[in-house]
């Protein structure tokens, strides 16, 4: 779906999420959200915060799982995705703290596999992700599933692509400060979500958007796997859709 402006598109995506939360709440059910970081979802989070403040949208029945976190990364660091989520969403809504799950960038290297298994189990214990929000990296990554990621990969540690680290470098004041690794939900984890919405804005994303939608399904561009997901929408602005 192509919109003229990313703000108009973000509002509609936020409304879809809000409607799902309310609908689940009316049924007495938990709403499991898969959440993303990066600049793309910020407006969606702004709109959700606004709906909480102005329309009383409650997040008490929401459980959230974030896609990824840098490794190593202290959750207190301003560079952490923990910090990002608190700043843009969690500090401003009534989601219970114990319902928030974000991969832990402080665990010992040798404990990562067991930790990642636990993250998968946790998602399953809530019945899986109802709605997964995604951005896309210029390498074609979703979460931090860099080129080469298998379609049924699960939560694991991954080495970040050079381009991904370059794109993150301005926020870290230089590429040398960008962590080399991350913990990310796998493509398979994302794929098991009942509904997926991927956001992409701006000319910088036009090339990878074209490959994702029109290209062959290839592990070199993990986002292409989404072509086979039965309930995925890519929400674009005109710049991001300019090469289609």
**Measured between alpha carbons, how far is 208 from 226 in angstroms, rounded to an integer?**
13
Tell me the residue number closest to ligand GLP, measured at CB.
135
Distances (CA, A) of 209 to 33, 152, 171, 215, 224: 24, 22, 23, 9, 9
**213 exposed, middle or buried (CB, 10 Å; 0-12, 13-18, 19+)?**
middle
**Measured between alpha carbons, how far is 220 from 197 in angstroms, rounded to an integer?**
21
Nearer to ligand GLP, 57 or 136 (CB): 136
* Beta-carbon count within 10 A of 209 CB: 25
Q: Is 146 a catalytic residue?
A: yes
Give the binding range for ligand GLP (CB under 6 A) out of 118-126, 136-144, 210-218, 235-243. 136-144
**Interface pick for ligand GLP out of 103, 105, 140, 143 (rule CB under 6 A):** 143
Give the binding range for ligand GLP (CB under 6 A) out of 37-45, 58-66, 185-193, 220-228. 37-45
In the complex, what is the shortest distance from the CB of residue 38 to ligand GLP, in angstroms, rounded to a whole number? 3
Q: Map the footprint of ligand GLP across residues 50-69, applying CB under 6 A.
A: 67-68
Does residue 224 contact residue 217 with C-beta atoms inside 8 Å? yes
Does residue 205 contact residue 136 with C-beta atoms inside 8 Å? yes
Give the binding range for ligand GLP (CB under 6 A) out of 35-43, 85-93, 185-193, 233-241. 35-43
**Interface pick for ligand GLP out of 137, 140, 186, 222 (rule CB under 6 A):** 137
In the complex, what is the shortest distance from the CB of residue 183 to ligand GLP, in angstroms, rounded to a whole number? 11
Does residue 187 contact residue 153 with C-beta atoms inside 8 Å? yes
User: Is position 164 an interface residue for ligand GLP (rule: CB under 6 A)?
Assistant: yes
User: Is position 129 an interface residue for ligand GLP (rule: CB under 6 A)?
Assistant: no
Helices (H), 126-239: 162-168, 187-191, 206-214
User: Is position 39 an interface residue for ligand GLP (rule: CB under 6 A)?
Assistant: yes
Please identify which of the residues 120, 146, 166, 214 carries the catalytic annotation.
146
User: Is position 37 an interface residue for ligand GLP (rule: CB under 6 A)?
Assistant: yes
Helix (H, G, I), strand (E, B) or coil at 241: coil
* Beta-carbon count within 10 A of 167 CB: 18
Residues annotated as part of the active site: 146
Binding site for ligand GLP (CB under 6 A): 36-40, 67-68, 135-137, 143-144, 164
């Amino acid at each position: 779906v192509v919109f003229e402006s990313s703000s108009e598109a973000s509002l509609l995506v936020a409304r879809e999420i809000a409607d799902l939360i309310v609908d689940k709440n009316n049924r007495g059910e938990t709403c499991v959200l898969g959440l993303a970081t990066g600049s793309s979802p910020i407006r969606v989070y702004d709109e959700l915060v606004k709906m909480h403040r102005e329309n009383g949208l409650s997040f008490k029945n929401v459980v959230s799982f974030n896609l990824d976190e840098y490794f190593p990364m202290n959750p207190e660091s301003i560079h952490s995705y923990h910090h990002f989520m608190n700043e843009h969403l969690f500090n401003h809504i009534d989601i219970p703290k114990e319902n928030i799950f974000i991969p832990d960038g402080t665990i010992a290297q040798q404990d990562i596999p067991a930790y990642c298994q636990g993250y998968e189990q946790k998602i399953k214990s809530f019945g899986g992700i109802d709605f997964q929000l995604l951005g896309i990296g210029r390498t074609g990554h979703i979460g931090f599933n860099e080129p080469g990621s298998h379609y049924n990969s699960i939560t694991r540690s991954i080495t970040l692509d050079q381009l991904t680290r370059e794109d993150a470098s301005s926020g870290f004041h230089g590429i040398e400060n960008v962590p080399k690794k991350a913990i990310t939900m796998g493509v398979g984890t994302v794929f098991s979500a009942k509904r997926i919405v991927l956001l992409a804005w701006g000319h910088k994303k036009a090339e990878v958007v074209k490959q994702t939608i029109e290209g062959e399904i290839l592990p070199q561009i993990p986002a292409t796997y989404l072509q086979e997901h039965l309930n995925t929408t890519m929400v674009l602005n005109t710049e991001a859709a300019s090469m289609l």
